[in-house]
A and B are shown apart, each in its own frame.
Chain A
């Protein structure tokens, strides 16, 4: 399945912090066909470093989408039955307006003059995209990690527009530990002299800081087990220690590779803005309590967590489930066994696929 990126421009977007962004571009991809009743649309929400290219092989570059193992004919999100939409988030750097985009008022990139955004702002922009498609209600909103937070925000803020929500490996609010890891990433970027207060476009980007931030991220996405299995203490291309500070261990080589590769596709300022949006997200805060926040929801929920995910531990998913139960909402939940840590929702998808497929099929039956 070859896919092409598309872009649509909206005149303006009102943000939580009171500012208005104008205009706003949204990069998106779609897979499958919207049916005549317009009731088979599913919005896929990407995680922190994802983009609109969720499935298929990109027309330019030939890369598979980030959730290609879950989206396609016969897969969890079956494109022979459903119409799948995925867009790059607000504040991103993969086609949707974000810090590296040109500010029409100055003709220069926004950089740090970009307004601080929230998960709710991202979702508000997504509602404009869904309106633009002429879709009233989404059969499902789904994503892992920060994508799951957006799915929850959709279900709470636009209850009449969401038939079902599948938040995976996520939380209703970041814990101190999650904020801490994000802050270390941000500090790594801002400590790089090339960051230059965010003003690096057209010159050297803060590649070292961004790479370090990404290395930290990757550690949190894996588990002790998966790292032991993948790397152990194996040495990289040598039989003995080098007695220097070049790469000795496989794990060092992997992290350095991941870090430097990330620099080529991601913007350091976007890193700052998006992690901040994640840290600000707190469904309970806005409405007093989580149970109050969920009072308005109408959706069915399928909540999934993974046993070895220590970045978004199962207790956070269970908090979602318990709060929904106090409202007697229709919620299915299971913790899937996996050694892959937080990455499990992207890589260990066999069991997740069965769950999503069955849940979507029964949900689709209900709207027929």
Chain B
């Protein structure tokens, strides 16, 4: 399936049980160098290595997850995304992936800038806090929103920054980033209209500004 035909399709196949992974799996070109930040147990990296022949590396803070990733043959090191990128030379990777983790970093802007420094392209996937279910939950319940996408109580949530599609678009403008592709998903369905209201997850393929 080419990127063009995929774009026109209404549904996204799942990859490893996740539709955003399917998008990422589609974006990443074969035989490239990929760094996955917050890579968990390295499932996506392993898939990319086996199916796209990429040189796969990962960073993960949880020691237990790092162990499982290494045991499956993926080169992952235990470290903090907020600190971990500084050592890498510029443009060390073709892609730097941050999948559903931006909202958990302490300094998201610094992370995005660092990703764009060490990677020629950046893939960011994040849950959309502007989704109607989140808005409704807050409007009706009056408490911190709890939805399928944001299932945590406010006091034990790993999410510390809540961003919407609109917020991210604003950041793209301020930082003068180039959006090569953007995808909006609700479950396995692609969202074409009102993404800030209807998308559960957004996936952006970015490159740094030309000037």
Residues of A within 8 A of B (CB): 300, 302-303, 321-322, 325-328, 330-337, 351, 354-355, 357-359, 361-363, 365
| Interface contact B71-A354, CB-CB below 8 Å | yes
Distance between Cα atoms of A301 and B78 in the complex (Å) = 14
User: Are A336 and B63 closer than 8 Å at their CB atoms?
Assistant: yes
B55 touches A332 (CB 8 A): no
* Closest residue on chain B to residue A318 by CB atoms: B79
Contact A334 B55 (CB under 8 A): no
| In the complex, chain B residues whose CB is within 8 Å of the CB of A331 | 75, 77
Residues on B with beta carbons closer than 8 Å to the beta carbon of A328? 88-89, 92
Find out whether the CB atom of B67 lies under 8 angstroms from the CB atom of A336. Answer: yes
Q: Are A361 and B87 in contact (CB under 8 A)?
A: no
Is B117 at the interface (CB under 8 A from chain A)?
no
Minimum C-beta distance from B30 to chain A (A): 16
CA distance A361 to B70 in the complex (A): 11
Chain B nearest CB, measured from A165 CB (Å): 13
Interface of B is mostly: mixed
CB contacts (< 8 Å) of A334 on chain B: these are: 63, 66-67, 70, 76-78
User: B86-114 vs A: 1/0 string, CB under 8 Å?
Assistant: 01110010000000000000000000000
Residue pair B87, A357 in contact (C-beta under 8 Å)? no
Instruction: Please name all residues of chain A whose beta carbon is closer than 8 Å to the beta carbon of B87 when the two chains form the complex.
Output: 322, 325-326
**Residues of B within 8 A of A (CB-CB), count:** 20
**Is B70 in contact with A326, judged by CB distance below 8 angstroms?**
no
Establish whether residues B88 and A325, one from each chain, have CB atoms under 8 Å apart when the complex forms: yes
B57 contacts A by Cβ under 8 Å: yes
- Chain B residue with Cβ nearest A364: B73
The interface residues of chain A lying within 8 Å CB-to-CB of B63 are: 334-337
B166 CB–A CB distance under 8 Å: no
CB-CB < 8 A to B77: which residues of A? 303, 321, 325, 331-334
Q: Report B-chain residues with C-beta under 8 Å of the C-beta of A302.
A: 70
Inter-chain CA distance A361–B74, complex, in Å, is 11
Whether B55 lies near A330 (C-beta < 8 A) is yes
* Pairwise interchain contact A326-B67, C-beta atoms closer than 8 A: no
Asked if B7 is at the interface of the complex by the 8 Å CB criterion, the answer is: no
Extra pairs beyond A300-B75, A332-B69, A334-B77 (15, CB < 8 Å)? A322-B87, A332-B76, A332-B77, A333-B79, A334-B63, A335-B78, A337-B63, A354-B70, A358-B70, A358-B72, A358-B73, A359-B70, A361-B73, A362-B72, A362-B73
| 10 sample A-B contacts, Cβ–Cβ < 8 Å, listed by A number | A302-B70, A325-B87, A326-B87, A326-B88, A330-B75, A332-B77, A337-B63, A354-B70, A354-B71, A358-B70
| Also in contact, A359 and B92, with CB within 8 A (given A333-B78, A337-B63) | no
* The 8 nearest A-B residue pairs measured at CB: A362-B73, A358-B71, A333-B77, A325-B87, A354-B71, A332-B75, A334-B66, A328-B92
Contact flag A355-B70 (CB < 8 Å), given A330-B57, A331-B75: yes
- A314: nearest chain-B partner, CB-CB: B78
Q: Which of B71, B89, B92 contacts A355 (CB 8 A)?
A: B71
